[in-house]
C-alpha cells in the first residue's frame, strides 16, 4: 500500500459516499439523533466518528492488509476533526427513555394519541 494512494482513495471514498448518502454533517446529526432516541445516551457527531475510527482500528488488528479499514479510519478521523472544530462536543439531543416495558408502552400510546390529534387538526373542514 502506498500512503499517497491511500489518501487519494480516502478522498475518492468521501466523494462517492457523499453522492450516495448526502451531506456528512446532516448524516451524522441524524445518526446521533437516532442513536440517542434509541438508547437514551448522548452521542455527538464527534464521538460517533471517534467510535467508528476505533472500530476500523480494531478491524486492522484482525486484517492488516485490508486497505478499506485504513481508508475509512482516515475519513472518520477527518470527520471527527471537522466536528470537533464546529460543535465543541455538542450533544445533538438527549431524551430520557422509559426504563420499563410498561413505561415504554405508555410512552408509545401517548405519542400515537398526539399524532392522531395532530392529523385530525390538519384534515380539511367540510
Residue-wise pLDDT for 67-89, tens only, equals: 999 999 999 999 999 988 775 55
At 96 the pLDDT is 56
At 74 the pLDDT is 96
Q: Alpha carbon of 42 to those of 36, 83, 95, 108: distances in Å?
A: 6, 15, 8, 21
Number of residues assigned to the chain: 126
- In eight-state DSSP terms, residue 67 is H
Q: State what percent of residues in the chain have pLDDT above 70.
A: 84
pTM of the model: 0.66
Amino acid at each position: 500500500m502506498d500512503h499517497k494512494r491511500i489518501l487519494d482513495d480516502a478522498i475518492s471514498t468521501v466523494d462517492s459516499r457523499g453522492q450516495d448518502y448526502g451531506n456528512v454533517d446532516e448524516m451524522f446529526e441524524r445518526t446521533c439523533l437516532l442513536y440517542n432516541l434509541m438508547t437514551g445516551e448522548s452521542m455527538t457527531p464527534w464521538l460517533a466518528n471517534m467510535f467508528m475510527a476505533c472500530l476500523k482500528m480494531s478491524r486492522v488488528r484482525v486484517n492488516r492488509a485490508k486497505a478499506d479499514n485504513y481508508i475509512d479510519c482516515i475519513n472518520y478521523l477527518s470527520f471527527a476533526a471537522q466536528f470537533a472544530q464546529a460543535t465543541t462536543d455538542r450533544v445533538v439531543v438527549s431524551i430520557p427513555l422509559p426504563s420499563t416495558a410498561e413505561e415504554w408502552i405508555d410512552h408509545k400510546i401517548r405519542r400515537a394519541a398526539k399524532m392522531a390529534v395532530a392529523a385530525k387538526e390538519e384534515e380539511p373542514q367540510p
